[in-house]
Structure 1
Amino acid sequence: MNASDRTPADLLRSALAADPARPLVTFYDDATGERVELSVATFANWVAKTANLLQDGMSAEPGERVALLLPAHWQTAVWLIACASVGVVADLDGDAAAADHVVAGPDRLADGLACRGERFALSLAPLGRRFPAPPEGYADYAVEVPTQGDRFAPYVPVDPDAPALAVGGAELTGADLVARGRADAGRLGLTDAEGARLLSGLPYDTWEGLSAGLYAPLAAGGSVVLCRNLDRLGQEALSQRVESERVTHTAV
C-alpha cells in the first residue's frame, strides 16, 4: 500500500491500482454453506454503488452516523468502506435511536426501527438476494443498490482526522484505521504482498475482529478469508480450508 494512504478508501484505491483481479474478500457462512469470493475490482464496485446509495439515496452527509446492525459478513465490509468513502461514521452495533441512518440485518430489524432516518435492510442471504418483500419500515438494499453508479466521488473531500468508525465504545478516525490496520498487519505477521492471506473467524463487534476481518489485510496489501459461524466447522475441515484457500495466517 502507499505510504500516503490516509483513509480506508485510500487503501482500497491503492489495492485497485496494484491488482484489481486478485481476491480481496472470501466469505464463508458455515451455517448455510455459502462461499463468496470478491476480487478487489468487484469489492470496489460494491463499495462505489453503496457509497452512491449513502450519498444520494440516503442523503447522508459527512459527520452523520450510520448504525450498522450487522454481523461479520462481506456486505458489512462493503458498508464499512463505503461509509469511509462518504465521510460518515460507521457505528457498529450502534444505538439506532441516536443514529442518523440505520442498516440492519434480518435479526436486527426490530432494533433498527428506533432510527428516524433512512433505514435499509440486508437479507444476508447467499448471493446477496433480496427479501421476498421489503421489511416494514425499510428499503431493501439488494433492490436499491444495483441501480447506483459504478463510480463514486464524494461531494465533500473526506477528512482523515474526522471520526470514521465507532466500535466497542471507542471512536476512531480514518487515519486511525489506517495506522492501526498497518500496525496490526505487522503484529499478525502479514507482509505488504499479495500472497498474505488471513483467515478470520472473529466477530465484527470488537476492533480486533474488524482489524483481522478487514483493515489489517487491506492495509498489508493482502486478502481475508472471513468466516461466519466457524464454530460449526470441525478441525479437519478447517485444516482443509486453510490449505485450499492458501491461507498464510489465522485469527480464530
Structure 2
Amino acid sequence: MGKNTAGIRGRRSQYGAARQRMLAVAGVAGTALLMGGLTACTDEGDKPQRDTGSSESAASDDADDDKADTDDEAKDDTDDAEQADADGGAGGTFAIGETAVYDNIGLKVTISDPEVLEPQEEWDEFGGEGYTAYTFTVVLENTGDESYDGDMTVFQGRAGDDGVEAPQVFSFEQLGNGSMGSVLPGKKSTSKIAFDVPDDADSLTVEFTELSDWDSESAFWTHEF
C-alpha cells in the first residue's frame, strides 16, 4: 500500500514538474508578447512561411499507397492548403501536415494529424465526460548554424468556432516529460503534444509561438473533426 502511494506521488511530482515548466515558459511568453507589442514594426522575415517542398514530399510518399486512397488524401490536402491560403496561409495559417518555416530563426515546424489519447492511469486528468484528448506529433528542424533550444516554444489549443480553450494534456507515460530539448544544426526533434477537446467542437486550432525572437509571429494549424 505504502509502495503504491509513493509511486503515485512520484508520478504526480513528474507531472508537477512539467506544469511548472509550462508556467515558466508562459511567463516568458507574456514578457515576449509585451515587448513585441512595443516594437514599431515587424520584418516580413519574422512571419512563418509555408514549406512547399514538404507537401511535395508527402505527395511522393503517398504515391506508394493505394491509388484511390492517395487521390482522396491528395484532394483533402489540397483543399486544406487552399483554405489555409484563404485564411492567410503564408502569413501564419497552415493545414495539418504542412511545415511552417521561420527563416529569421532557422527553424521548421511540422504538426501531424492527431490521434485519440486514452486515459490509462487513475491520475490521468483528461478525456473525462464531454471531452476527448488528442495527441499531435511535432517535428522541429534546425536549419540554422547554432543549437536551438526547443523549450523556447509554446503550444496552445483553441476549439470550435468560438475558440474556447482546449487545455494542454500532460501524461508522462504516453507523452514524456513535455520537453522539446535542444536541436543541433541540421537535426530534428520529434515530440508529442496533446489537448483536451470538448466533444461538441468541430475543429481544433493549434497555435505555435516561438520565444527566442520576440518579433516572430505565431503559426496556426487547424484540424477539422
Structure with greater Cα Rg: 2
TM-score, structure 1 normalization: 0.25
Specify which structure has the higher proportion of strand: 2
Per the normalisation by structure 2, the TM-score is 0.27
